[in-house]
Amino acid sequence: MMHTGKNAVVGDVAIDLHPFIRKYNDGRIERILRSSFVPPSEDPNGVARGVATKDVVIDERNGVSARLFLPSGAATDAHRRLPIVVYFHGGAFCTESAFCRTYHRYTTSLASRAGALVVSVEYRLAPEHPVPAAHDDAWAALQWAASLPDPWLANYACPDRMFIAGDSAGGHIAYRTAVRAGRESDGGGIDIEGLIIIQPYFWGPHMLPSEMAWDDDSDSTVMKLDKLAKFWPFVTSGQAGNDDPLIDPSFDEVASLNCQRALVAVAEKDFLRARGRRLAALMRDCVWAGAGGHNVTLVESEGEDHGFHLYSPLRATSRNLMESVVQFINQSAASPRPRPWPASVVPELHGEYPTSSRARNVLLSVPTRPYHAVFLNGLDMKARPRRCPSPMAITNAFTPSQDKKVSKKSFGLFLAGAKPNNLNASKGPLSASVKCLWKFIPT
């Protein structure tokens, strides 16, 4: 839920970055976008979806911590270790939390649906802790997760299946963490299988052609042009401007990413859409993207704005976006070969993206199963080759529900007792609301 300060005097505002944060002339900070704290629960039988959660300290000196999300099914398959997803929440670098209701429910959903052990990171926020504090905290969190220091990670996780993910500012942080893993001398030991960035925040000193043509209707978009230009100077406490290479990735930097594949998700009505599409285009021409750039996927949600999947999680577009992320995490060589789109539906790149004949190999992502497991207790564990050894003897601390029926009690992912209109909405051809715009076939 969004809360806004109704007693603020406009004349007292030094900088207004609504709907995220305001800073007043007297130094007060008002965080507008926020949601209530949710406590963890290590008993999967006492919470919906059978996902146990607990909080851990990563760096006591800097106050870096995380919430772990462990699906109950982890204890029932002695031959399966879980992928690790290190997740960074959004909130313009200055608000929201890994422990708030918005992100607790989203990462619970992700852990349940993907069958992954999620490490949701609580990093320091600006302006009290200017960027790059968040980048440093993210790097510490990745190193911590890769070392498997917690029993849940040691007993259930597969260190060779490491994913870095985030949305909005968290998408930016996830990207910067992958870049650092490719450059740091002590980052070579962390093998990152996948990078997932959803509606990431990037900017630059000059507007792109599509941004200049954008109709910035103040009532229809979350991210406003007049606010976007102020964010980076604000969260860096004036130490960097919009010409900072940290928010305007170069091809050389993208090429240095330490990951095997990447997924970039954008929303049609999000002003940051062009930056996400540009980043995906840079990625596809990198060596690590593989022949034809087939290791890079761009997903676009039609008719949606920034953060829609967090605040309208039961909407078909949100479910389809989650399905794309889940399929990306659980991708295997046995996955069906996607089919190409006709060239007529490919957007013209103009000078905004690198030109390449591969830009015509566009695929439609089609979910292979109905989107419903996230609403049920228990996981859809598909067999796939594993690179990790079997876990050590695991206690029966987690007992998944044996009831396969969909009951009112089984629902409540985000709204207690609220059943989606159609659990099988994504069966068959994918709704036009989500299109996998760039996923390249090896030549």
Q: How far apart are CA 303 and CA 269, in angstroms?
A: 6
Query: Among residues 139, 141, 276, 136, which one has the least CA distance to residue 197?
Result: 276
CA count, 13 A, side-chain hemisphere, 317: 22
CA count, 13 A, side-chain hemisphere, 399: 6
Helix (H, G, I), strand (E, B) or coil at 83: strand
What are the catalytic residues?
A: 168
Residue spans of beta strands (DSSP E) within 171-295:
192-198, 261-267
> How far from chain centre, in Å, is Cα 261?
14
Alpha helices in 115-216 (DSSP H): 133-146, 151-156, 169-183, 209-212
Dihedral of the alpha carbons of 235, 298, 165, 282, in degrees to the nearest 10: -60
26 by Cβ neighbours in 10 Å (0-12 / 13-18 / 19+) ranks as: exposed
Adjacency order of strands within the sheet including 261-267? 51-59, 64-71, 117-122, 82-88, 157-167, 192-198, 261-267, 296-301, 434-439
Pairing of strands 64-71, 117-122: antiparallel
> How far from chain centre, in Å, is Cα 227?
23
Contact in structure between 102 and 35 (CB atoms under 8 Å): yes
Query: Among residues 443, 111, 435, 174, which one has the least CA distance to residue 297?
Result: 435
Query: Which residues on adjacent β-strands are paired with residue 69?
Result: 53, 118
Helix (H, G, I), strand (E, B) or coil at 71: strand
Helix (H, G, I), strand (E, B) or coil at 365: coil
Structure tokens at 262: 């990447």
Peptide bond just before 19 cis, omega within 30 deg: yes
CA count, 13 A, side-chain hemisphere, 230: 16
